[in-house]
A and B are shown apart, each in its own frame.
Chain A
């Protein structure tokens, strides 16, 4: 769905995106992770055809991004982090307008055929806004605007979704709802590009992630492989000595059988607790890039 080769872009004389290479398969959720100013938004703009003055190649859906026409956007849905709604209009008026900008008469719905456009009432209901559709957007809370922004990206049933911090500003229940909707869109075969600071979301949703810092990709793999390649799981255990004072120790999971102390404690039945722990994606990000996600 997306092929990026030797991509370089600069706002000034100094390169901002440097020699970037990656591919995104159809039906994949691909995450861009990086701190503010890392180049994630610029990369997104390039892939959306908003910054044509790049070097190298960035192909989306078979079209070079710098040479696209209006039809290019027929299969692209974008959920920006900020609200992009007419505040004076109702939520439904907004969606009706944005939906009207897409000509879906040529799209068919698989075997059933016919026009393919999402039912707005269904979309409102899917994100729990069915009773607020006639409210003006200016009366919406931040979380409601986030949910509305998300369904706006779906109105024309695009094949490719760009989601920028889709769970930002949402309470845990609505964050869960949003993540389930993202996974549902993936099940329908959509390709999703997710930009986020939230490592938990990335680990949960993404098939693969790219760590971006300073306009460069530092690592690209599945969240599981990244975690496993850089940090082995550790086992931590505690026990009491003869004076009933608690002690703890830890060892790598792979060297567990060589830990004589642990063997003895098990044999003497003196273990108080034992648990394993894996490094998080955030730990791996810091280890690889030397940066935190702020």
Chain B
């Protein structure tokens, strides 16, 4: 535990020295403020210009889903960039042969940031959320968002060979979040084409108002994690 604690603290110090990563880590707060104030403002302006009522209100749930996805993605993006830099500099392999070990390394770089992302989402969503969500919804949205963040981290670190590629891949892999749009805009059964994305099931959870959809969201995330983990293990061997 001692090595894991020091390894995680070291990552935080490392992030503090990198302005881009620091900004990414703080972005959920800024995005939350922008969303909480900006979207209702835009909705009012649209009502004013078009004369239509509640133009964006039906989609407030979708904004909340995307927000619960963005917070873990940003936290996990920071962890992924640190991991890629450590891979570029051969540091990860060295850390595996210290008392930290391979398992400790992934706990300090993936699990702890994931847990923190989950807790931060759990706190920020009731503050910045736009729709009326139950406690169960908030809990499950935070959970599925965090799992998705870990999937994106694994996707980035297992497929990219350096930090530069990782940054480009993060942008692309964030498209996984867009699965949440399908239940809102794509009629079924065509929407199920995006069912391989964990976010699709999160969207279903809100549109169908059924927490049971958290189960397929967890299963799909777990399959992604297993496949990407195997690939990452091969990469670092």
How far, in Å, is B22 (CB) from chain A's closest CB?
13
Q: Mark contacts of B203-219 with chain A using CB atoms, 8 A cut-off: 1 yes-contact digit, 0 otherwise.
A: 00000000000000000
CA of A88 to CA of B18, assembled, Å: 9
Structural contact, B97 and A73, CB atoms closer than 8 A: yes
Structural contact, B89 and A97, CB atoms closer than 8 A: no
Among A75-83, A124-132, A231-239, the one that faces the other chain is A75-83
Structural contact, A102 and B97, CB atoms closer than 8 A: no
CB proximity to A under 8 Å, residues B162-206: none
CA of A100 to CA of B90, assembled, Å: 19
How far, in Å, is A135 (CB) from chain B's closest CB?
15
- B98 contacts across to A, CB distance below 8 A: 73, 98, 101-102
Given A48, A50, A80, which contacts B90 in the complex, CB threshold below 8 Å? A80
Q: Knowing A88-B18, A103-B3 touch, does A48 contact B97 (C-beta < 8 A)? A: yes
How far, in Å, is B133 (CB) from chain A's closest CB?
41
Structural contact, A101 and B89, CB atoms closer than 8 A: no
How far, in Å, is B142 (CB) from chain A's closest CB?
31
Q: Knowing A70-B100, A85-B89, A87-B89 touch, does A101 contact B237 (C-beta < 8 A)? A: no
- A85 contacts across to B, CB distance below 8 A: 89, 91
A218 part of interface (Cβ distance < 8 Å):
no
Which residue from chain B places its CB closest to the CB of A69 in the assembled complex? Answer: B101
CA of A85 to CA of B93, assembled, Å: 11
Structural contact, B94 and A78, CB atoms closer than 8 A: yes
Structural contact, A84 and B2, CB atoms closer than 8 A: no
Structural contact, A101 and B97, CB atoms closer than 8 A: no
B29 part of interface (Cβ distance < 8 Å):
no
Q: Knowing A74-B99, A88-B18 touch, does A101 contact B7 (C-beta < 8 A)? A: yes
Structural contact, B89 and A73, CB atoms closer than 8 A: no
CA of A84 to CA of B86, assembled, Å: 9
Structural contact, B97 and A76, CB atoms closer than 8 A: yes
Given B7, B18, B94, which contacts A84 in the complex, CB threshold below 8 Å? B94
CB proximity to A under 8 Å, residues B4-19: 6-7, 10, 14, 17-18
B95 part of interface (Cβ distance < 8 Å):
yes
B226 part of interface (Cβ distance < 8 Å):
no
Q: Knowing A70-B104, A101-B3 touch, does A50 contact B91 (C-beta < 8 A)? A: no
- A22 contacts across to B, CB distance below 8 A: none
Structural contact, B97 and A49, CB atoms closer than 8 A: yes
Q: Mark contacts of B76-94 with chain A using CB atoms, 8 A cut-off: 1 yes-contact digit, 0 otherwise.
A: 0000000000100111011
CA of A50 to CA of B97, assembled, Å: 8
Which residue from chain A places its CB closest to the CB of B102 in the assembled complex? Answer: A50
A255 part of interface (Cβ distance < 8 Å):
no
B96 part of interface (Cβ distance < 8 Å):
yes
Which residue from chain A places its CB closest to the CB of B14 in the assembled complex? Answer: A86
- B14 contacts across to A, CB distance below 8 A: 86, 88-89
CA of A111 to CA of B40, assembled, Å: 73
Given A69, A78, A82, which contacts B97 in the complex, CB threshold below 8 Å? A78
- B6 contacts across to A, CB distance below 8 A: 97, 100-101
Structural contact, A50 and B89, CB atoms closer than 8 A: no
How far, in Å, is A151 (CB) from chain B's closest CB?
14
CB proximity to B under 8 Å, residues A103-117: 103
A171 part of interface (Cβ distance < 8 Å):
no
- A69 contacts across to B, CB distance below 8 A: 101
- B90 contacts across to A, CB distance below 8 A: 80, 82-84
Which residue from chain A places its CB closest to the CB of B10 in the assembled complex? Answer: A97
Structural contact, A103 and B99, CB atoms closer than 8 A: yes
How far, in Å, is A189 (CB) from chain B's closest CB?
21
CB proximity to B under 8 Å, residues A36-94: 48-51, 69-71, 73-74, 76, 78, 80, 82-89
- A74 contacts across to B, CB distance below 8 A: 99
Which residues does B use to contact A, with CB under 8 Å? 2-3, 6-7, 10, 14, 17-18, 86, 89-91, 93-101, 103-104, 237
Known: A50-B237, A88-B17, A100-B10. 19 other contacts (CB 8 A): A48-B97, A50-B93, A50-B96, A51-B237, A69-B101, A70-B3, A76-B97, A80-B93, A83-B89, A84-B89, A84-B90, A85-B89, A85-B91, A87-B89, A98-B94, A100-B6, A101-B98, A101-B100, A102-B99
15 contacts between A and B (CB under 8 A): A50-B93, A50-B97, A70-B101, A71-B99, A76-B97, A80-B90, A80-B94, A84-B90, A84-B94, A86-B91, A88-B14, A88-B17, A89-B17, A97-B6, A101-B99
